[in-house]
Amino acid sequence: MSDSVALKSAPAAASKAEPWGAKPRRALSGRNIMLYGTLIVAALYYLLPLYVMIVTSLKGMPEIRLGNIFSPPLEITFEPWAKAWASACTGLNCDGLSRGFWNSVRITVPSTLISILVASVNGYALANWKFRGADIFFTILIVGAFIPYQVMIYPIVIVLREMGIYGTLTGLVIVHTIFGMPILTLLFRNYFSALPEELFKAARIDGAGFWQIYLRIMLPMSLPIFVVAMILQITGIWNDFLFGVVFTRPEVYPMTVQLNNIVNSVQGVKEYNVNMAATLLTGAVPLIVYFVSGRLFVRGIAAGAVKG
Amino acid sequence: MQKSVSIKDLSLSFGAVNVLENLNLDIGDGEFLVLLGSSGCGKSTLLNCIAGLLEPTGGQIFIKNKNVTWEEPKDRGIGMVFQSYALYPQMTVEKNLSFGLQVAKMPRPEIDKRIARAAEILQIGPLLKRKPSELSGGQRQRVAIGRALVRDVDVFLFDEPLSNLDAKLRSELRVEIKRLHQSLRNTMIYVTHDQIEALTLADRIAIMKSGVIQQLADPNTIYNAPRNMFVAGFIGSPSMNFLRGEIAGRDGHPVFVTNGVEFALDGYGASEALQPGRKVVLGVRPEHVAVNAEGAETHQATVDIEEPMGADNLLWLKHAGHTLSVRVGGARRFAPGTAVKLSFDMGLASLFDAGTEERI
Amino acid sequence: MTGQAHTGRPRRLLRNLSSKIASIPMMLTAVVIFLGGTTWTVVYSFTNSKLLPRANFVGLDQYERLWDAPRWIVSIQNLAIYGALTLVFSLVMGFVLAALMDQKIRFENTFRTIFLYPFALSFIVTGLVWQWILNPEFGVQSVVRALGWTSFTFDPLYNADIVIYGVLIAGLWQGTGLVMCLLLAGLRGIDEDIWKAARVDGIPMWKTYLFIIIPMMRPVFITTLVIIASGIVKVYDLVVAQTSGGPGIASEVPAKYVYDYMFQAQNLGQGFAASTMMLVTVAIIIVPWAYLEFGGRKRV
């Protein structure tokens, strides 16, 4: 028995006449230098803008005018952050990004909750209670996900105007619910379809109906997919620009729109440090979601990538 | 016999595919009926129709003389046990058992009483507070049976309940299901692809193929007098030997001729006259072939392969251009190449028409 | 038995009623918004609507005007350049990164987190950061000049000829992480035994990738391609934030053309015609893919 083991591990080490020697470890082989070298260079390219944003936002304007954008701040100041948050000007008013931040919160929270609620019930109906014709609607929904938003924007403006909610937060929440529906419905339908069908059958034999099965059987089993959907929606809705600018009025503009107005406003002297602080503030929410959620985010974008 | 479940002209099609076609089946009160067939034969579909989980395209289903074709599953007086157990993963065993009763708004004392009874019958009392993930496969399936039991129903439906278990547990639970049936005397309809389960459990077996019941009979009849070649080939392991040939007359007696070799058909009880020249297939089970028997009509054969299986010894014999499987006692050993004499027990053989494949 | 009261087949409409009620939002969205809205826009692209939509049909007038407009032509050219280069670079970079990540490396999670974080950021944030980095006065150009190479010129955002490449750099930074993730998932889906067989046969690694792995990943590549492509057509916020379409009209894109004509220039007809052209572009990408992906399967 031991002979055969020796034979198996021998060839690599045999030339050294050391049959039981460990496999040589070469941490710095040429292959590894290439491999990690490339990865580190790539990582630097991806990290550079984040670094530039941070250092710029911590410098004073005089230092920016003198130094280069990559050098760390000689003197750290948080003034740009304070200004970006509370007193930067958009051309309309000068109360900073805080207004946009709270608008975005008031848009993102209800949009995320309502879109997930609607889509999860839709997906559940499609997976477990399919009725005649359901697939036709679902196909239209999925194909619709590929239609450029620009094609559907104006009819929605008309519908919302007729309903008297054009320009309001309610209208924007409805728009986010509509455009979140294809990907979320697909996500939930696939998830519920992958649950064992026999569970659903057992619950029906037990006499549970549509809503009872949804609330008492399906929901408790689907927490991960709800988290994935939340990550997808929070980042997607927070980052939205087009719907914000089309469907809201200046006083309820979301943060992204306000940020763009602050940075690209043509009046006054450009304050790059304030701009970068404002940019970081706007990116902070999705970045925090991203860093906290880790692997679930990857799952979410793999599923949500169709959204494009 | 009082009918418990009665199926009339049941049809079901998915699009252009007919899964069930005008199927009729009456199941007696307290009967254990097994639906047996390979996957895709429609046996599970039929069970799901009885349960109300699938809508038939045509026909009716009666349970206890009540037309339940369009009733909800919960109103049919059935309980069902699934292959994957289908226990609600987030609920304890007790919750799993009580869920359906709570949905039906049954008073708590009655629920507790029923759970206690089921726990006693199935010996799952110590497991009541556990989650399904903390149970072994066998325990899970007991709980799943318990869920049907607490509903206190007339008809139990089993959808391949043992297929997910390993061989040893499967045979243990098989015995328990049989014991359960003997003590409860409920009607049980049991779907399986496993012929051992079918033969051991069933009062009657319905063998299905392509949505049609091929034969409905007690296990003994199914085994010894299969109605057609499909049933004959499906039941039994290894499969029945089929020899193609034709009927000839010899001194006024019919004989079976294959590849120039003759077998007398004296012991065979044919249901119709055996006309000479008719193309037929002779089916003989491996255990109905005798090797080196005294005094019988014998034929020369050679041992090709020997497969010792402990209690039995399986021989593959070369004979007149055929390969025959033969079961002999485990103590009788034959080296490959040995010449042997073989003879058929015609009283237990089957003869089929070569064209229709029906039993003669 | 037959004397029992027959419970007949219930009314079609009432069966599964809860499910139908629950699906009303989906049905409304699909039919009214997606189908209805798209049809409406296409129909009104044949009218001369200005400030308000009016059903005054003028045939292909709007389309003739559209294709005569220099701004639209520039938009289409930009989209073509940006699209083609994005496809090539993000697939190549994404695949190289994915292949490197698949070498059982250490700190895989750290690298993935770094490559993917830009995808969590909005196009507005992306555009503004790169606007700052590419700023000729303070950004890359001035840093290189400060190092002594005083004639170095790299000011894509102020040079009409290369501005679209400036947008491309930002777009690639934001999107390649996603491509890497999708392709890495594809690589991980390949049977380990394939690699073992190739190693036993002595096939060099690059050949294994080129002739065995990549062909096996065809479906993943096609899906990724469709995802990138449908994102390209929608590109809007990035340009708005980074260049506002400038200098002049040098970095205009179709989506911005649509928005500007619908909501700023009060020329709805042009906006509808331009958005219909976007729809046609997407259809050209999606229809062959959908046919390959779903049409082919039905034939089997």
DSSP string of chain C, one letter each residue? -TTSPP--PPPGGGTTHHHHHHTHHHHHIIIIIIIIIHHHHHHHTTB--SSS----B-TTHHHHHHHH-HHHHHHHHHHHHHHHHHHHHHHHHHHHHHHHHTTT-TTHHHHHHHHHHHHHS-HHHHHHHHHHHT-TTTSHHHHHHHTT-TT----GGG-TTTHHHHHHHHHHHHHHHHHHHHHHHHHHTS-HHHHHHHHHTT--HHHIIIIIIHHHTHHHHHHHHHHHHHHHHT--HHHHHHTTT-STTTT--HHHHHHIIIIIS--HHHHHHHHHHHHHHHHHHHHHHHIIIIIHHHH-
Tokens of A151: 């094609």
Nearest CA-CA distance, residue B234 and chain A, Å: 28
Alpha-carbon distance B104 to B223, whole Å? Answer: 44
Do C4 and B71 lie within an 8 Å CB cutoff? no
Q: Give how far the C-alpha of residue C286 lies from the chain's centroid of Cα atoms, to the nearest Å.
A: 12
Q: Which residue has the higher pLDDT, B199 or B253?
A: B199
Concatenating the DSSP letter of every residue in A64-100 gives: HHHS-TTSPPSS---HHHHHHHHT---SS--S-THHH
Alpha-carbon distance B223 to A33, whole Å? Answer: 71
- Residue where the block lists tokens 């020997």: B306
In this prediction, residue C8 carries a pLDDT of: 59
Helix ranges restricted to H, chain A: 2-14, 30-57, 61-66, 79-86, 98-128, 134-144, 149-163, 169-194, 197-205, 210-212, 219-221, 223-239, 242-247, 255-263, 272-293, 295-304
CB pairs under 8 A between B and C: 19
Query: A 148-177 residues with CB below 8 A of C?
Result: 148-156, 158-159, 177
- Asked if the C-beta of B80 comes within 8 angstroms of chain A's C-beta atoms, the answer is yes
Alpha-carbon distance C210 to A5, whole Å? Answer: 36
Domains of chain B, by residue range, sit at 3-229, 241-353
Query: Cα–Cα–Cα angle for B186, B189, B191, nearest 5°?
Result: 150
Q: Which CATH architecture has domain A98-307?
A: Orthogonal Bundle (1.10)
pLDDT for B174-183, tens place per residue?
Answer: 999 999 999 9
In this prediction, residue B164 carries a pLDDT of: 87
Nearest CA-CA distance, residue C133 and chain A, Å: 7
To the nearest whole percent, how much of chain B has pLDDT over 90? 59
C8 CB neighbours in chain B (<8 A) are 70
Beta-ladder partners of B34: B190, B205
Bridge pairing between strands B78-81 and B253-258: unpaired
In this prediction, residue A119 carries a pLDDT of: 94
What average pLDDT does the segment B330-357 reach? 89
Query: Cα–Cα–Cα angle for B261, B265, B270, nearest 5°?
Result: 135
Number of H-type helices and E-type strands within chain B: 8, 20
Do A196 and B48 lie within an 8 Å CB cutoff? no
In this prediction, residue B132 carries a pLDDT of: 92
Do B69 and C10 lie within an 8 Å CB cutoff? no
C7 CB neighbours in chain B (<8 A) are 67-71
pLDDT for B219-265, tens place per residue?
Answer: 999 999 999 999 999 998 889 999 999 998 888 788 899 888 888 88
Q: Is the pLDDT of residue C34 over 90?
A: yes
Do C4 and B66 lie within an 8 Å CB cutoff? yes
Bridge pairing between strands B289-291 and B3-14: unpaired
Q: Of B203, B210, B258, which Cα lies nearest the Cα of B234?
A: B210
Q: Which residue has the higher pLDDT, A4 or B356?
A: B356
Nearest CA in chain C to B58: C9
- Beta-sheet strand order (sheet of B204-209): B78-81, B155-159, B187-192, B32-36, B204-209, B212-217
Q: Give how far the C-alpha of residue A269 lies from the chain's centroid of Cα atoms, to the nearest Å.
A: 33
Do C278 and A148 lie within an 8 Å CB cutoff? yes
- Residue where the block lists tokens 């496993």: B194
Q: Which residue has the higher pLDDT, B203 or A293?
A: B203
C274 CB neighbours in chain A (<8 A) are 150
Per mean pLDDT, which range of A83-87, B142-146, B272-276, C4-8 is the poorest?
C4-8
Contact C181, C116 (CB under 8 A): yes
pLDDT for C146-181, tens place per residue?
Answer: 888 888 888 888 888 899 999 999 999 999 998 999
> Position A169: which residue type?
L
Question: Among B89, B90, B99, whose Cβ lies nearest the Cβ of A206?
Answer: B99
Nearest CA-CA distance, residue B159 and chain A, Å: 10
Domains of chain A, by residue range, sit at 98-307
Query: C 10-49 residues with CB below 8 A of B?
Result: 10
- Residue where the block lists tokens 């590894």: A32
Contact A278, A263 (CB under 8 A): yes
In this prediction, residue C298 carries a pLDDT of: 46
Beta-ladder partners of B158: B81, B190
Q: Which residue has the higher pLDDT, B13 or A27?
A: B13
- Residue where the block lists tokens 């494009």: A308
Do A202 and B78 lie within an 8 Å CB cutoff? no
Tokens of C118: 């830009």
Q: What is the CATH number of domain C71-299?
A: 1.10.3720.10
In this prediction, residue A71 carries a pLDDT of: 85
In this prediction, residue B157 carries a pLDDT of: 94
Nearest CA in chain B to C4: B66
Nearest CA-CA distance, residue C45 and chain A, Å: 10
Contact A208, A216 (CB under 8 A): yes
pLDDT for C191-205, tens place per residue?
Answer: 888 888 888 888 888
Domains of chain C, by residue range, sit at 71-299
Do A201 and B80 lie within an 8 Å CB cutoff? yes
**E strand or H helix at B169:** helix B167-184
Who contacts A213 (Cβ-Cβ below 8 Å, separation ≥6)?
A128, A200, A203, A204
- Asked if the C-beta of A273 comes within 8 angstroms of chain C's C-beta atoms, the answer is no
Length of chain B: 360
End-to-end CA distance of chain C: 46
Query: Cα–Cα–Cα angle for A80, A81, A87, nearest 5°?
Result: 80
pLDDT-derived band of residue C11, with 50, 70 and 90 as boundaries? low
In a mutational test of the C interface, the residue from A104, A117, A120, A154 whose CB has the highest number of chain C CBs within 10 Å is A154
Q: How far is CA B49 from CA B12, C91, C137, in A?
A: 9, 50, 76
Query: A 190-229 residues with CB below 8 A of C?
Result: 209-211
Give yes or no for a cis peptide into B109 (omega within 30° of 0).
no
3-state secondary structure of A47: helix
Nearest CA-CA distance, residue C3 and chain A, Å: 27
Nearest CA-CA distance, residue B201 and chain A, Å: 24
Q: Is the ipTM of this complex over 0.85?
A: yes
The radius of gyration computed from the CA coordinates of chain A, to the nearest angstrom, equals 27
Question: Among A198, A205, A208, whose Cβ lies nearest the Cβ of B78?
Answer: A205
Beta strands in chain B (DSSP E): 3-14, 17-28, 32-36, 58-63, 66-67, 78-81, 155-159, 187-192, 204-209, 212-217, 241-250, 253-258, 261-264, 279-284, 289-291, 299-308, 312-319, 322-329, 339-344, 350-353
Alpha-carbon distance B56 to B46, whole Å? Answer: 9
Alpha-carbon distance B104 to A130, whole Å? Answer: 25
Alpha-carbon torsion (A175, A176, A181, A183), positive or negative: positive
Alpha-carbon torsion (A253, A256, A258, A264), positive or negative: negative
User: What single-letter DSSP state applies at residue A23?
Assistant: P
In this prediction, residue C271 carries a pLDDT of: 93
Contact A120, A108 (CB under 8 A): no
Nearest CA-CA distance, residue B120 and chain C, Å: 37
Q: Which CATH number fits domain B3-229: 3.40.50.300, 3.10.129.10, 3.50.50.60, 3.40.50.2000?
A: 3.40.50.300
In a mutational test of the C interface, the residue from B70, B71, B75, B76 whose CB has the highest number of chain C CBs within 10 Å is B70
Contact A55, A72 (CB under 8 A): yes
Do B70 and C9 lie within an 8 Å CB cutoff? yes
Alpha-carbon distance A21 to A18, whole Å? Answer: 6
Q: Give how far the C-alpha of residue A58 lies from the chain's centroid of Cα atoms, to the nearest Å.
A: 26
3-state secondary structure of B128: coil
- Beta-sheet strand order (sheet of B279-284): B261-264, B253-258, B241-250, B279-284, B350-353
CB pairs under 8 A between A and C: 255
Q: Of C138, C197, C135, which Cα lies nearest the Cα of C170?
A: C135
Q: Of C176, B101, B62, B99, which Cα lies nearest the Cα of A199?
A: B99
User: What single-letter DSSP state applies at residue B359?
Assistant: B
Q: Of A233, A251, A207, which Cα lies nearest the Cα of A303?
A: A233
Beta-ladder partners of B325: B316
In this prediction, residue A303 carries a pLDDT of: 62
Nearest CA in chain C to B57: C9
Q: Is the pLDDT of residue C3 over 60?
A: no
Stretches where chain A sits below pLDDT 70 are 1-28, 301-308
What average pLDDT does the segment C244-256 reach? 90
In this prediction, residue B233 carries a pLDDT of: 93
In this prediction, residue A24 carries a pLDDT of: 58
Nearest CA-CA distance, residue C197 and chain A, Å: 19
Tokens of A166: 């054009």
Residue ranges of chain A whose CB lies within 8 Å of a chain B CB: 196, 198-199, 201-208, 212, 216-217, 220-221
What average pLDDT does the segment B271-293 reach? 88
Tokens of A227: 């988290």
In this prediction, residue B319 carries a pLDDT of: 87
Give yes or no for a cis peptide into B238 (omega within 30° of 0).
yes
> Position B180: which residue type?
L
Q: What is the CATH number of domain B241-353?
A: 2.40.50.140
- Asked if the C-beta of C1 comes within 8 angstroms of chain B's C-beta atoms, the answer is yes
